[in-house]
Structure 1
Amino acid sequence: MSVDPVFLAVGWLTTMLMAVGKGAFGGGLAILSVPMLSLVMDPVDAAITTAPLVSLMDLFALGAFGRSGWAKADLTWLIPGLVAGIAAGAAVFVLVDARIVTLIIALVTVAFTAHWFLRVRLAPPAPIGLSAPLALVAGAATGFSTFVAHAGGPPLAMYLLRRGLDKTRYAGTTVAVFTLGNLIKLVPYLALAASKPQALWAAFSFAPAAPLGVWLGKRLHDRLPQGMLFFWCYVLLGAAALKLLADAVKGLVAP
């Protein structure tokens, strides 16, 4: 493991940003992890390093929000959909072009976010009620896309943001869904880590930033007015969509 101060600084900053996003919004900044860590380490090592860090953050975020922060009725349908989506992604992983999946998710999310900023923000519609079919579809899309293309955040956010939940139930429910999803994904990443122990050492060295970042993020969550917090949720969602779009286009046009 490198002891280069630049390596440690980038790793701690990346971990802190991910953890603050987890504590404030339930997630949203993990998409920055691999690009930022790839500045100081191999991209595959960066992906392996991120997996245990995100699961560690989930555990602290679960404690920060507690069960009272869960929209339990939604989770009743989101979780089965998530598990089914992950299973489907694993079953067809070698048959699906992750670039196409990423492109579709990015285009839908860009359209959804643009619609909110241009129309819905100015004249908000009534929140949608609990819909078992929509929750199942959102869960399945989240599970499938997170396994195939590491892009599970947008499908879940698009469903939960339209539900009209208060800010804490939105973030707490997001944390609950991804705690399970990230734990499932952790298994294959740990198998990969058997041949890349340097990635696990890196995760160990960055780990102390995780609880600190979640704590700071939760304090931010508690202080931000609900309208402002959701505004930044849409900003993060749009930024994630543009990042996914750029990655998909780059992958498709690359020789």
Structure 2
Amino acid sequence: MPELAWYAWALLAVAAVIVGLSKTAIPGAGTVAVAIFAAVLPAKQSTGTLLLLLIVADLFAVAMYRRQTDWKTLARLAPAVVAGVLAGVVFLWFADDLWVKRTIGVILLAVIAITLLRRRFASGVATPGPHRVAAATYGTLGGFTTMVANAAGPVMSMYFLARRFPVKEFLGTAAWFFAIVNLFKVPFSVGLGIITVPGLLLDLVLVPLVVVAAFAGRRLADRMPQHVFERLVIAFTIVGAVYLLLG
């Protein structure tokens, strides 16, 4: 077990709660957990440790929202996501932590700006042509950012928000998306050496907090108005993007 100060454990506990909530109530908030883990643990260990907690939260989210999923959207995203993950693997071999953070921060801010402009001046991604382009663009960026920093939450949140999904369909589609993608990432993460025994031991301590927060998030989602949900998604996405760009 890594030797950490009490305040480091407290921060990791907060991050674990955020992980659970982000999967079942507030997508985009997970980037805050990415920031906390990166601040407390070495970069590679933080990525691998957080990945396993995300998978646990994904499983609970899938169980809760499995009936509210847009499978056509996931099928359209799949090829681009695979390409993005593979690009992320290559990028990790050459880029240092600073370049990774800044690259993802720029991408996220660009995604936010484009999405807000589309929602203001157009009809989202409803027509077939733009939808295919958006799926390819967001899918590639989502695959890339999830591989290099577990930071695809804001990217995909902007895509699902542009699709104008209701709260439960948004959460169900996102749950299946991340469950599949995060499991797909495991062999690459093992090969890159970012999943470690100390990280597994940390996960054993933090998993109960993730589970409790996931159930709390489900109750929160049942009571959350659509407009509040959308504003929270955008707000947490901006916070995560700024952190990754300037942190």
Structures share a fold, TM > 0.5? yes
* Distance (Å, rounded) in 1 between the aligned partners of 2:190 and 2:25: 27
> Within 5 A, what are the aligned runs for 1:87-102?
87-95=86-94, 98-99=100-101, 101-102=103-104
Q: Structure 2: which 5+ runs fail to align?
A: none
Task: Evaluate the alpha carbon distance shift between residue 38 and residue 152 of structure 1 in structure 2; reply closer, same or farther with a 3 A threshold.
Answer: closer
Return the TM-score normalized by structure 2: 0.83
SS class of match (1:232): helix
The residue number in structure 1 matching 2:13 is: 12
Task: Evaluate the alpha carbon distance shift between residue 5 and residue 149 of structure 1 in structure 2; reply closer, same or farther with a 3 A threshold.
Answer: closer
2:74 counterpart of 1:72: no
* Distance (Å, rounded) in 2 between the aligned partners of 1:53 and 1:181: 14
The residue number in structure 1 matching 2:125 is: 128
How far the C-alpha of 1:148 sits from its partner, in A, is 3.4
Measured on the aligned residues, the alpha-carbon RMSD in Å equals 2.7
- Checking the alignment, whether the CA contact within 8 Å between 1:113 and 1:237 is kept in structure 2 is no
The ranges of structure 1 where at least 4 consecutive aligned residues each deviate by more than 6 angstroms after the TM superposition are: none
The residue number in structure 1 matching 2:23 is: 22
* Distance (Å, rounded) in 1 between the aligned partners of 2:164 and 2:116: 18
* Distance (Å, rounded) in 2 between the aligned partners of 1:59 and 1:190: 20
How far the C-alpha of 1:54 sits from its partner, in A, is 0.6
- Checking the alignment, whether the CA contact within 8 Å between 1:193 and 1:200 is kept in structure 2 is no
How far the C-alpha of 1:50 sits from its partner, in A, is 0.8
Return the TM-score normalized by structure 1: 0.81
Task: Evaluate the alpha carbon distance shift between residue 187 and residue 225 of structure 1 in structure 2; reply closer, same or farther with a 3 A threshold.
Answer: same
Q: Structure 1: which 5+ runs fail to align?
A: 248-255
How far the C-alpha of 1:65 sits from its partner, in A, is 0.6
Task: Evaluate the alpha carbon distance shift between residue 48 and residue 24 of structure 1 in structure 2; reply closer, same or farther with a 3 A threshold.
Answer: same
The residue number in structure 2 matching 1:253 is: none
Task: Evaluate the alpha carbon distance shift between residue 92 and residue 160 of structure 1 in structure 2; reply closer, same or farther with a 3 A threshold.
Answer: same
The residue number in structure 2 matching 1:86 is: 85
Larger radius of gyration: 1
- Checking the alignment, whether the CA contact within 8 Å between 2:53 and 2:207 is kept in structure 1 is yes
Amino acid of the structure 2 residue aligned with 1:111: A
Task: Evaluate the alpha carbon distance shift between residue 245 and residue 210 of structure 1 in structure 2; reply closer, same or farther with a 3 A threshold.
Answer: same
Task: Evaluate the alpha carbon distance shift between residue 148 and residue 59 of structure 1 in structure 2; reply closer, same or farther with a 3 A threshold.
Answer: same
How far the C-alpha of 1:224 sits from its partner, in A, is 0.5
- Size of the aligned set, in residue pairs, is 239
- Checking the alignment, whether the CA contact within 8 Å between 1:53 and 1:207 is kept in structure 2 is yes
SS class of match (1:61): helix
Percent identity between the two aligned chains: 24
* Distance (Å, rounded) in 2 between the aligned partners of 1:6 and 1:100: 27
* Distance (Å, rounded) in 1 between the aligned partners of 2:123 and 2:190: 44
The residue number in structure 2 matching 1:140 is: 140
1:177-197, CA deviations, whole angstroms, 9 ceiling, x for partnerless residues? 111221122234345267x42
- Checking the alignment, whether the CA contact within 8 Å between 2:34 and 2:149 is kept in structure 1 is no
How far the C-alpha of 1:213 sits from its partner, in A, is 0.8
